[in-house]
Amino acid sequence: MSSTEHGPANSAETRMNEKKCSWASYMTNSPTVIVMIGLPARGKTYMSKKLTRYLNWIGVPTKVFNLGVYRREAVRAYKSYDFFRHDNEEAMKVRKQCALVALQDVKAYLLAEGGQIAVFDATNTTRERRDLILAFVKENAFKVFFVESVCDDPQVIAANILEVKVSSPDYPERHRERVMGDFLKRIECYKVTYQPLDPDDYDRDLSFIKVMNVGRRFLVNRVQDYIQSKIVYYLMNIHVHSHSIYLCRHGESGHNVDGRIGGDAQLSPRGKQFAHALRGFIEEHDLSDLKVWTSQLRRTIQTAEELGVPYEQWKILNEIDAGVCEEMTYEMIQNSFPEEFALRDQDKYHYRYPGGESYQDLVQRLEPVIMELERQGNVLVICHQAVMRCLLAYFLDKSAEDLPYMKCPLHTILKLTPVAYGCKVEMFYLNVEAVNTHRDRPLESLCEGSDFDSCEATSGCVRF
């Protein structure tokens, strides 16, 4: 058999011609509208944004439609809670019209723009409003799943108002006491007409999850399909608590020095120096309650061994499998498999090494890690370049196009701290030199500089 008939280059062309669709996308046989329900300051927007980030990360095109944005477009100057009184007829007309406009945008996204899930982020506290939405989804043959957030803990509500609502465009003066007073009265306006989902009678045939007191209890009703089960699984795993996630790569390895990818090399002398510096970092920052996770490859285990603390090995944290290209340099790959080399540069996210993995495969493999990171306290993940890119892309809401080019240098720690609607990022370089293993995007580097400068993330670089 000649290599031209059955070799990697020929099979690569076939693989790259396959439909570029994630495994999760195959499970959504019709568009779905996720409808949020709940009084103000119950974490609906927090859940909407987080759920959207997760669904996009696993490959299901998802977008949030926040009704507050539409209302602010229609009514430029917010004056007071009076706008939300149920007997304010003029305001009620404006609010209903905003909902209708938003639903038309939902329709356009799902039918004309390639979207698969739309999250309708609003209070939707009355049966009248929900019946309007149900008529809309029936008319367009969409599926619908309701997410109701119920909270009667005054401390949680007050904390939410102070963390999120004080900085809302509705309150440009940001006076804490006045904001708190007005917003509590706004909540009372909604309470007058609030009709929670009724699982025993009126709403027994609907598909929904009730999230009670920020995830202390759940009620799930009539889950219809795979993607709805994924939504339930995710919402039952996200915990609202203060914690930080530390990500770093293993210390520099012998293969890093030689420019080889994959394999199971041991640490170089500078890699061992980094492991020692990492121990100092943990002690300096008093991270006594820190959990440490590694892959099952020697370079991450050797890095963790130096820390003098217990650690867990996760096979799913192993580096991307380069298949037939394992332990080769990029020059060797280009010479041996020129078509493979070119195809990977054309679409790095979907490209799968012959006998190996793609970044898309890696995201699927890492999903359990994301679920555990959402549930845990402070965790240090000592991993690998491709793995770290995938984890970072989830937390920083990066696209599949940008993910494979995120810069994750050796001997650098990233501290991720979840904040209201995003993630705060701090970078610590431990002053141990290492080779640069980053390859820029071909032709033009669109990811120059910091990869962490999104509108919902702040970043700093600290030399330690």
**pLDDT for 172-228, tens place per residue?**
877 888 889 999 999 999 999 999 999 999 999 999 999 999 899 999 999 999 999
Interhelix angle for 44-57 vs 359-375, to 10°? 150
Number of other residues whose CB lies within 10 A of the CB of residue 297: 22
pLDDT of 20: 55
Contacts of 227-230 with C-beta under 8 Å, sequence gap 24+, read: 227/24, 227/27, 227/28, 227/32, 227/60, 227/117, 228/32, 228/143, 228/145, 230/24, 230/27, 230/55, 230/58
Two tokens, residue 200? 């025993």
pLDDT of 238: 86
What Å distances lie between residue 340 and 326, 328, 385, 420, 440, CA to CA?
13, 13, 20, 43, 17
Two tokens, residue 311? 């650690």
- Sequence-distant (≥ 6) Cβ neighbours of residue 439 within 8 angstroms: 330
User: What is the distance between the alpha carbons of residues 255 and 56, in angstroms, rounded to a whole number?
Assistant: 33
Number of other residues whose CB lies within 10 A of the CB of residue 218: 12
Please name the residue that has the structure tokens 């402070």. Answer: 378
- Sequence-distant (≥ 6) Cβ neighbours of residue 286 within 8 angstroms: none
pLDDT of 4: 38
Low-confidence ranges of the chain (pLDDT < 70): 1-28, 444-464
pLDDT of 382: 98
User: What is the distance between the alpha carbons of residues 245 and 261, in angstroms, rounded to a whole number?
Assistant: 26
- Give 459's strand partners: 425
Point out the residues that are catalytic.
121, 151, 250, 319
- Sequence-distant (≥ 6) Cβ neighbours of residue 261 within 8 angstroms: 255, 322, 325, 326, 327, 328, 329, 330
Strand 422-429 relative to strand 412-419, pairing: antiparallel
Contact 300, 294 (CB under 8 A): yes
Taking Cα atoms as reference points, which of 395, 459, 453, 456 lies closest to residue 427?
Answer: 459
* HSE-CB for 142 with a 13 A CA cutoff: 26
- Classify 60 in phi/psi space as left (phi over 0), alpha (psi -120 to 50) or beta: beta
User: What is the distance between the alpha carbons of residues 430 and 81, in angstroms, rounded to a whole number?
Assistant: 51
- Sequence-distant (≥ 6) Cβ neighbours of residue 386 within 8 angstroms: 319, 320, 359, 362, 404
- Give 294's strand partners: 313, 382
